[in-house]
Amino acid sequence: MKTPMQIMLSEPFQQFVLGRVAELGLDRPEQYVEQLLEEERRRRIDEYYMEKCREGLASGPPIPVTPGYWEELADRIERRFEKRKRKVAQ
Tens-binned pLDDT, residue by residue, of the chain (90 aa): 889 999 999 999 999 999 999 999 999 999 999 999 999 999 999 999 999 999 999 999 988 899 899 999 999 999 999 999 888 887
- Please state the pTM of the whole predicted model: 0.64
> What are the C-alpha distances in Å from 84 to residues 16, 50, 62, 75?
57, 32, 30, 14
CA distance 11 to 88: 60
Per-domain boundaries in the chain: 11-59
Q: How confident is the model at residue 1, as a pLDDT?
A: 86
pLDDT at position 60: 93
Query: Burial code of 45-72, b = ≥16 C-beta within 10 A, e = fewer?
Result: eeeeeeeeeeeeeeeeeeeeeeeeeeee
Contacts of 20 (CB under 8 A, 6+ apart): 32
| 58 DSSP assignment | T
Q: Determine the pLDDT at residue 7.
A: 94
